Structure 1
Amino acid sequence: MNKQLTWREKISYGIADMGFNFYWTNIATFLLIYYTDVFGISAAAAASMMFTIKIINAFTDPMIGAAADRTSTRWGKFRPYLIWVPLPLAAAAFLTYTTPDLSEDGKIIWAYGTYLSMMVCYTCINIPYNALSGVLSADPQERSTVNGLRFIFAFAGGTLVTAATPALVHWLGGGNDKLGWQLTMLTWSALASVLFVLTFLNTRERIAPPAEQKSNVWQDIRDLSQNRPWVALFFLALIIMITITLRTSSAAYYFKYVVERPDLMAGFVPAYMLAAAAGASLTPLMTRFVDKRKLMMILMTITAVLSSAFFFVPKDQIVLMFVLQVGMGLALGPKSPLAFSMYADTADYNEWRTGRRATAMTFAAATFSQKLGTAVAVAVIGAIFTKLGYVANAAQSAVSQAGIVWLMSFIPAAFALLAVAVMFFYNLDNQKLLQIQADLEARKS
């Protein structure tokens, strides 16, 4: 159960997250501005639609997690989803980035249907993939290594998407942005599908629930609600996603309307992604010397300071913008492998405390909070833009520009500090985890 994984398996697990970021980074970075500036609906309508779909999709997460926990095949519980779902996901993404010749109301209906389909399909493959990291090995340090490597690939995928997508749209569309976005998303979807299959072929599930376990979905939810470290992580994920989404979704508007250099987006987000990948790669080393809880608190404090500093950067100080962005990438890079490693630890804690294990539900309820955080962030952006009188593809007022700068600085900084406060309630340290693993080994042997 505490198997030391081969590098082949670690890398094979990690590469799928590059595929997920072919979708996720496009959604987080470009989808809102695609809807307003290419698809042709208002910022208020797009933000409202994205918020509604995120909320609906968040509630599908526990259902998919429960289904994955109860899946039984000769390939395991979670791996089969990596070959069952890629094709439906690719089709839904292609339609989401398709602009039909409809009225604005018709386009809004189309956006609701296609975006919901894409997000549900994404969830159907992403939650089992997340849960897979909790059953590859029971060794906490191996989990940190696997998740650290995974997010190196994730950030690499995000970097590739943000750097290449604008050029792909122009090249594949030949000047027709509607066609360009459609074909670009088809390209990313095809590449992602190949990576998902490679992960399926080269990983193995080694941890199973106790043979005598009998529980239902409501029991799983009750267990999680009484799992104090998991509850802390639930709110942590929600708050961190608000922090990140506020800055990521606002960046395109910041460079287009404040700095008046939209071309810089091709380097700005990739700079963050590369720095985040470097930070993620250092996670296993840092967790050898610093407790996960303390490390998370330090990282979010640094994030708050750097985000606040962004407010004071003049719009012509491009180098300073990139320096702060790289600093935030280094600080936020380790948070994802840390968080996902801690989710797996809370699944062990749940089994130790109750005698029941629901790995996929543990991760599904966590992604529920992440999507809820993304929805809140998009709603905040939409509300601020509406209040400030944002008009697509037009010069923005001084008030509107100031609002965009706040979305890049003080507002996400406040949420980062809130994340620090939440971590005071997480009570699994290294000594406690060693005790849990020893007790679980004793029970099974």
Structure 2
Amino acid sequence: MSNASQVLSVREKIGYSLGDLAANLIFQTLITYLAFFYTDVYALPAATAATIIFVVGLLGAFVFTPMIGLLADRTRTRWGKFRPWILWTAVPFGALALLAFSTPELGERGKVVYALVTYTLLVLVYGANNLPYAALSGVLTGNMAQRNSLSAYRFVAVMIAQFVIQVLLLPLVLILGDGDRVRGFESVMTLFAIVGTVFFLITFATTRERIVPTPAQSSGVRQDLVDLARNRPWQVMLLLTILVFVALALKGGMTIYYFQYYLDPTALAGFLERTGFERAIDGLNALLTGAGMAGFLWPEDAPTSAFSLFNAGGIICMILGIGLSRPLANRFGKRNVFGGALTVSTLFLLAFYLYPPDAIGLVFGSQILHGFFYGITIPLLWAMIADVADWSEWKNDRRATAIIFSAMLCGLKVGLSIGGALVAAVLARYGYEAGASVQPAAAIDGIRLAVSVYCSLPFLAGVALLFFYEIDKPMETRIEHELGTRRARAAGAAA
């Protein structure tokens, strides 16, 4: 197949990226608000909610994900290997997302069973949808530049979903529920389910699998596992994925404490006033109430409002960084750009430990610069994993895209679990007092260390790992050329 025939249209790139937007409307809601929903909306005991989330999360990581990876690599349909999974799961995914955030009155035991069953089914269907979706990026094109471009489109969509969830979801819940969080969550999830289902169907309809394994390729599970064990780029990327998501979970979980207990509330309120944020919210409320709608119920305390604005600024700058990712990767190679951008972004994380409590402008400035440079790395991680699938095919003359991506998704879930556990471990280690309006000095110092030094260490370890990742720019070009020649020869022989 010629290089030109593997050029993706803007239509196909947008169509593919809509699948990530749809999935992340649900995924970001799960990782950000599921515990809150179970405890504060559905009134489950906190320990019960934590057990459900933890057990089902492990089930998803170590049972559902590898199982679906093995099945997807062996799927044969007229639509391809991975596209059918997106079609088959579109409606069940939307329906289960709505059911998981519904609140039927079933009694204490019944509610626990309902939450366990609906969340388990949602995690299963999420894996059956998202793993083939991720693997699809590796077979849409073998053109490295096009793969970089596709990843950039994809992760702009991810950032849009993240912005909606982290910045706008709670206000939407309050508006659509007219102040009732139960009705609000059901209304929001109904909207997400409808939008997500439509977007998945668009992804299926607008994409085409161009990289097809040769009919003679062996498909034994044992051989897949042997290939993985010998695949050093895959081993590096697995460890890198775990480290990156440990850092993200630790930073994400600890930053709210940095705002609540370290930064000066008076300085935060003054910053919100000087930047025009409060006037903007007042103006929006006047517009909404004038149109006969409910007001935009934004949190009133300065730390919470500033934290939401902090997240919004970081996400917007990540999107700008994503836009720069493709041209840099095309020129210097994914490995070098990923390592350089991650190093610079980590320096701005380290700076959080140095700022005094009233240096609000510096805190926001560091977040903006960290977000921009980290944004450059976001598309590259998954594009590099697709390159690992190419490397495996190049070395072994066999392609096993889904099992490679399933291992990485396991790494992602392991990283999120470790990082989330570290949040609680750091707070306990430094004497955090739950519910106290003022924390001990040791706890505050632990919070400052966690959002700066501790979450920087996994990032820096990841940068060091890249020295063992051999797929640099020259090797990318060699693999692309040699695989293209092999595929063209195989296609000619089959004709």
Taking structure 1 as the reference length, the TM-score comes to 0.91
Q: Any idea what SS the aligned residue of 1:85 has?
A: helix
C-alpha distance in 2, partners of 1:249/1:39? 22
**What pairs up with 1:197-208 in 2 under 5 angstroms?**
197-208=201-212
C-alpha distance in 2, partners of 1:117/1:249? 26
C-alpha distance in 2, partners of 1:264/1:414? 26
**What pairs up with 1:224-235 in 2 under 5 angstroms?**
224-235=228-239
* Alignment pair present for 1:61 and 2:104: no
Q: Which of residues 113, 117, 122 is equivalent to 1:118?
A: 122
The 8 Å contact of residues 239 and 418 in structure 1, kept in 2 or not, is answered as: yes
Q: Any idea what SS the aligned residue of 2:218 has?
A: coil
Q: Any idea what SS the aligned residue of 1:282 has?
A: helix
Shift of residue 108, structure 1, vs aligned partner: 5.7
Shift of residue 168, structure 1, vs aligned partner: 0.9
Equivalent residue number for residue 327 of structure 2: 285
* Alignment pair present for 1:304 and 2:308: no
Equivalent residue number for residue 483 of structure 2: 440
The 8 Å contact of residues 92 and 114 in structure 1, kept in 2 or not, is answered as: yes
CA gap 1:96/1:229 in 2 versus in 1, 3 angstroms: same
Shift of residue 272, structure 1, vs aligned partner: 1.6
* Alignment pair present for 1:339 and 2:411: no
What are the Cα deviations for residues 174-221 of structure 1, in whole angstroms up to 9, with x where unaligned?
A: 222233233323322222222111111111111111210122223212
Shift of residue 420, structure 1, vs aligned partner: 0.9
Equivalent residue number for residue 192 of structure 1: 196
Shift of residue 256, structure 1, vs aligned partner: 4.6
Equivalent residue number for residue 161 of structure 2: 157
CA gap 1:290/1:439 in 2 versus in 1, 3 angstroms: closer
CA gap 1:142/1:308 in 2 versus in 1, 3 angstroms: same
AA paired with 1:263?
Answer: S
* Alignment pair present for 1:428 and 2:428: no
Q: Which of residues 7, 12, 15 is equivalent to 2:15?
A: 12
Taking structure 2 as the reference length, the TM-score comes to 0.83
Equivalent residue number for residue 168 of structure 1: 172
CA gap 1:249/1:355 in 2 versus in 1, 3 angstroms: same
Q: Any idea what SS the aligned residue of 1:306 has?
A: helix
Q: Any idea what SS the aligned residue of 1:224 has?
A: helix
**What pairs up with 1:4-153 in 2 under 5 angstroms?**
4-35=7-38, 37-40=40-43, 46-47=49-50, 49-59=52-62, 60-99=64-103, 110-153=114-157
AA paired with 1:441?
Answer: G
Q: Any idea what SS the aligned residue of 2:7 has?
A: coil
Equivalent residue number for residue 270 of structure 2: none
Equivalent residue number for residue 362 of structure 1: 404
**Most deviating of 367-376 and 402-411:** 402-411
CA gap 1:11/1:374 in 2 versus in 1, 3 angstroms: same
Shift of residue 282, structure 1, vs aligned partner: 0.9
C-alpha distance in 2, partners of 1:401/1:35? 28
**Most deviating of 30-39 and 324-333:** 30-39
User: Number of matched residues?
Assistant: 444
Q: Which consecutive aligned stretches of 4+ in structure 1 deviate over 6 angstroms post-superposition?
A: 102-106
C-alpha distance in 1, partners of 2:10/2:202? 14
C-alpha distance in 1, partners of 2:189/2:222? 38
What are the Cα deviations for residues 342-367 of structure 1, in whole angstroms up to 9, with x where unaligned?
A: 11111111111111101111111111
What are the Cα deviations for residues 240-263 of structure 1, in whole angstroms up to 9, with x where unaligned?
A: 111112222333444455556212
Q: Which of residues 236, 243, 246 is equivalent to 2:247?
A: 243
* Alignment pair present for 1:267 and 2:309: yes
AA paired with 1:124?
Answer: A
Task: Name which one, 1 or 2, has greater alpha-carbon Rg.
Answer: 2
What are the Cα deviations for residues 276-316 of structure 1, in whole angstroms up to 9, with x where unaligned?
A: 11111111110132222122211221232111211233444
CA gap 1:104/1:293 in 2 versus in 1, 3 angstroms: farther
C-alpha distance in 2, partners of 1:104/1:384? 33
**What pairs up with 1:378-417 in 2 under 5 angstroms?**
378-385=420-427, 388=431, 391=434, 395=437, 397-398=439-440, 399-417=442-460
C-alpha distance in 1, partners of 2:112/2:361? 39
Equivalent residue number for residue 298 of structure 2: none
What are the Cα deviations for residues 399-428 of structure 1, in whole angstroms up to 9, with x where unaligned?
A: 544444433222211111111111111111
C-alpha distance in 1, partners of 2:147/2:412? 20
**Most deviating of 255-264 and 374-383:** 255-264
Give the CA RMSD over aligned residues: 2.5
Q: Which of residues 169, 175, 182 is equivalent to 1:178?
A: 182
Q: Any idea what SS the aligned residue of 1:204 has?
A: coil
CA gap 1:114/1:256 in 2 versus in 1, 3 angstroms: farther
C-alpha distance in 2, partners of 1:191/1:374? 27
The 8 Å contact of residues 233 and 471 in structure 2, kept in 1 or not, is answered as: yes
CA gap 1:113/1:313 in 2 versus in 1, 3 angstroms: farther
Q: Any idea what SS the aligned residue of 2:216 has?
A: coil
CA gap 1:234/1:20 in 2 versus in 1, 3 angstroms: same
CA gap 1:396/1:77 in 2 versus in 1, 3 angstroms: farther
| Greater relative contact order (Cα < 8 A, sep 6+) | 1
C-alpha distance in 1, partners of 2:317/2:416? 22
AA paired with 2:93?
Answer: L
